[in-house]
Amino acid sequence: MINKILVSACLMGFKVRYNGSEKAQMVAQLVRWQQEQRLVIHCPELAAGLPIPRPPAEIVSADGKDVMQERARIIEDTGRDVTEHYQLAAWLALRTAQEAGCTAALLTDGSPTCGSQFIYDGSFSGQRKSGMGVAASLLIEHGIAVFSDTQVAELVAWIEEREN
């Protein structure tokens, strides 16, 4: 059985980021996985109804797990509290992954939704901190292995180990 992978839509070249840009990483491996029909391309924020463009949002002094457990908030740089939108984005990512039978996710790092190695600290000053976004956190909690866009090699090894 092949392991299917939920992949951030912006990594696949879709211009769905807050500023209308993409973060395309169409490395050979991703092209191969796409040809093998392993990839489930998804943007949680778009699925939750957030527009393009949209104001940047950050998790305030916490991480995605705290947000999903109602211990922290996500705000836009305008000050608007968008916590519920991002919680919905996380649940929709999980539902999409589960319905498609994904065992892993390859997500864009740094995002308050998709980040897995780092996020921003909530000060909108470009300050990074280690931590996860809401979707990454929820996927892991439900047994889906999460890899960041800098961990394609690790994901390759993970899949080979499971399939060989």
**Site residues (CB under 6 A) for ligand SF4?**
8-10, 16-17, 43-46, 108, 111, 113-114
- Give min distance, CB of 9 to ligand SF4, in A: 5
Kindly report the backbone phi and psi dihedral angles of residue 32, in degrees, each rounded to the nearest multiple of 5, phi listed first.
Answer: -65, -45
Phi, psi of 40 (to 5 degrees): -115, 105
Q: Tell me the closest approach of the beta carbon of residue 141 to ligand SF4, in angstroms.
A: 17
Instruction: Using the minimum distance from each CB to ligand SF4, give the nearer residue, 78 or 164.
Output: 78
- Would you say 21 or 161 has its CB closer to ligand SF4? 21
Q: In degrees rounded to 5, what are phi and psi of residue 150? A: -95, 5
**Alpha-carbon torsion angle 113, 114, 116, 118, nearest 10:** -70
**Nearer to ligand SF4 among residue 87 and residue 113 (C-beta):** 113
Alpha-carbon span 140 to 151, nearest angstrom: 16
Instruction: Please report how close the Cβ of residue 163 comes to ligand SF4 at its closest, in angstroms.
Output: 26
Measured from the CB atom, is 96 or 111 closer to ligand SF4?
111
Judge contact between 22 and 14, C-beta under 8 A.
yes
CB of 70 to ligand SF4, least distance (A): 21
